[in-house]
Every structure is written in C-alpha cells, then in structure tokens.
C-alpha cells in the first residue's frame, strides 16, 4: 500500500441528475471565444479560426449549490455562462452541464497585453461553478443559454450561435490531449459578459439542463 507524506486531496466531483453516483473530475479544459458576438466584444475577429484552449485545475469546480468566494487580486471579476461537456469512458461525451467560467478580467487584459499565460486570470481557486450533470445526448443543440445577475438578464443567446459546435470542440480538444474519463470541457461563452460584486446572485441556464445558482461570497 502506498504511503503518502500527507493525505491526498479528495477527488472533486459533480452530482448527476437522477443518479446517486458522482462524476469524478479529472481536469478542466476551456475554449476561448467560441461565439462570434463575444469574440467581437473582446476586440477580436470572429472568423472561424482554430479554437484555442486554456485550463483550470480540477479542484476549481464549485458544486452542490456552494457559493464561490470573490477572488483575491482582482477588481474586475467577470461571469461567462458556458455549456460544459463531460467526458466519460472511451473518451466519449457522457453528459452535459451548465458552468460559469469565472474570470479575473483585469489580470487577463494584462496577460494579453504582455503575451503572458492566462492561469492567474482563469485557473484560480473556485473559478468553475458547475451545475449537476445530465447524462446522455445534449437535449437540444440549439437550446437557449442565459445568465442573470440579481434577476437581471446579462447574457442571452442560443447554443446554435457557437462558432465550433460542442462535438467539434471535443474533437479539437482530442487532437491536443488524450481525453480521459472525468475531463470537463467548457465550450465558450456568448456575448454580454460583465462584472460581479460580492453578494451578487447568479443564475445560469441552458434549456434542458439543470440550472446553476450561486451567490458570490
Ligand atoms: Mn470562457
């Protein structure tokens, strides 16, 4: 039996709708600028260029209705509602969830300006609130996707507006990494991203999937 210097960290996991089992999270891959209107609002050309990826650590997930803390070292925390693909056995998509890619937008802007990595902007602690997983095929590939803050709609689009559809995103990710059971892939956010303050109540919805709700602590 392996003896560790200290107890290994527990495996982060997502609840599954209608199933007592949990989905163990291995790592989190995220695609950037996968909706044309969001690429434009970030100052980029939304031409159908190859998707690019960044990552968050597995333990960045915030689950089971827990509330993420407002992170240190930023004055511009942003929300990004996203469809999340969950990879199961054999590298196939096992199910889908609603996630929010929390972003330190000020640190991301500095990183972009200097050509530096995005880790501190994207992969910080509690940066990936995620709802319960719905197993099986995506209920509706053209479903509405929306996010409200304190009841006010901030993002409202449909999955049909994606530049690369979820199947293509998973395929592209698979050319860069050997996808393994437990991998989550955040598939990009539509336009309307904006700031969050402490105490803000966020509701992130995709038709057919379980709604994600949290309040920023
Ligand atoms: Mn994102």
Domain count, the chain: 1
For residue 106, the CA-to-ligand 1 centroid distance in Å is 15
Beta bridge partners of 129: 62
Please state, in angstroms and rounded to a whole number, the distance separating the CA atoms of residues 99 and 211.
Answer: 9
Q: Encoding tokens for residue 41? A: 């609002």
For residue 22, the CA-to-ligand 1 centroid distance in Å is 24
Q: Give the Cβ contact number of residue 37 at 10 Å.
A: 13
Whether the CA torsion 35, 37, 43, 48 is positive or negative: it is positive
User: Residue 81 domain-assigned?
Assistant: yes
Residue 130 domain boundaries: 23-215
User: Residue 106 domain-assigned?
Assistant: yes
Short-list 105, 203, 213, 206, CA closest to 153: 203
* pLDDT the model gives residue 109: 97
CATH number at residue 89: 3.90.850.10
User: Residue 44 domain-assigned?
Assistant: yes
SS3 91: helix
For residue 102, the CA-to-ligand 1 centroid distance in Å is 8
User: Residue 11 domain-assigned?
Assistant: no
Please state, in angstroms and rounded to a whole number, the distance separating the CA atoms of residues 45 and 32.
Answer: 13
Q: How far is CA 181 from the centre of its chain?
A: 17
Q: Encoding tokens for residue 47? A: 């031409």
* Tens of pLDDT, residue by residue, the chain (217 residues): 899 999 999 999 999 999 999 999 999 999 998 998 988 898 888 877 789 999 999 999 999 999 999 999 999 999 999 999 999 999 999 999 999 999 999 999 999 999 999 999 999 999 999 999 999 999 899 999 999 999 999 999 999 999 999 999 999 999 999 999 999 999 999 999 999 999 999 999 999 999 999 999 9
User: Residue 122 domain-assigned?
Assistant: yes
User: Residue 12 domain-assigned?
Assistant: no
User: Residue 9 domain-assigned?
Assistant: no
């Amino acid at each position: 039996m392996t003896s560790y210097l200290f107890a290994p960290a527990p495996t982060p996991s997502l609840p599954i709708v209608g199933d007592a089992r949990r989905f163990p999270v291995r790592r989190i891959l995220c695609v950037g600028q996968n909706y044309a209107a969001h690429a434009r609002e970030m100052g980029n050309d939304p031409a159908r260029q190859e998707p690019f990826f960044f990552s968050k650590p597995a333990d960045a997930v915030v689950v089971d209705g827990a509330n993420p803390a407002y992170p240190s070292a930023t004055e511009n925390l942003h929300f990004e509602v996203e469809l999340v693909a969950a990879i199961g056995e054999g590298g196939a998509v096992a199910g889908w969830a609603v996630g929010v890619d929390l972003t330190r937008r000020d640190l991301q802007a500095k990183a972009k300006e200097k050509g530096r990595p995005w880790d501190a902007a994207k992969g910080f602690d509690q940066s990936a609130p995620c709802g319960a997983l719905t197993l099986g095929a995506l209920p509706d590939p053209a479903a509405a996707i929306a996010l409200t803050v304190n009841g006010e709609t901030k993002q409202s689009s449909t999955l049909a507006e994606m530049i690369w559809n979820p199947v293509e995103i998973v395929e592209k990710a698979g050319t860069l990494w050997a996808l393994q059971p437990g991998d989550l892939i955040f598939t990009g956010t539509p336009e309307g991203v904006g700031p969050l303050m402490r105490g803000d109540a966020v509701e992130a919805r995709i038709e057919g999937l379980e709604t994600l709700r949290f309040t920023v602590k």
